[in-house]
Amino acid sequence: MLKYSVKLFASLKEKAGYDLWHYESEVVLKASALLTAFFEQHPNTANLRGVTRLAVNQSFCSEDLALAATDELALIPPVSGG
């Protein structure tokens, strides 16, 4: 069993109610599959699906990247500030 840990930021963190999401899979996931799983489990964040980026080891990645359970993963929605 592969165990992925994903850091959540900004509005995703607020809407999910926590800052670290854990997901288990029997197969290696691509970034797109992990994103899909997150948004299926958190339907109140669905409006952010098209604009949220996955960072792997502190760099944004393409959705076809295969993920290792040891990767540092983070979901980052758009943020604004002043």
Its pTM stands at: 0.93
Tell whether the model's pLDDT for residue 46 goes beyond 90. Answer: yes
> Are the C-beta atoms of 26 and 1 separated by less than 8 Å?
yes
Decide if 14 is inside a domain: yes
In terms of DSSP H, where are the helices of the chain?
10-16, 31-41
Q: What is the CATH number of the domain that holds 38?
A: 3.10.20.30
Average pLDDT over residues 22-34: 97
Q: Which domain holds residue 67?
A: 2-71
pLDDT band at residue 81, thresholds of 50, 70 and 90?
low
CB atoms within 10 A of CB 38: 22
Overall domain count for the chain: 1
Give the whole-angstrom CA distance, residue 26 versus residue 52: 25
Pairing type for strands 20-25 and 73-76 reads unpaired
The string of pLDDT tens digits covering residues 1-20 is: 999 999 999 999 999 999 99
- Which tokens sit at 13? 């963190």
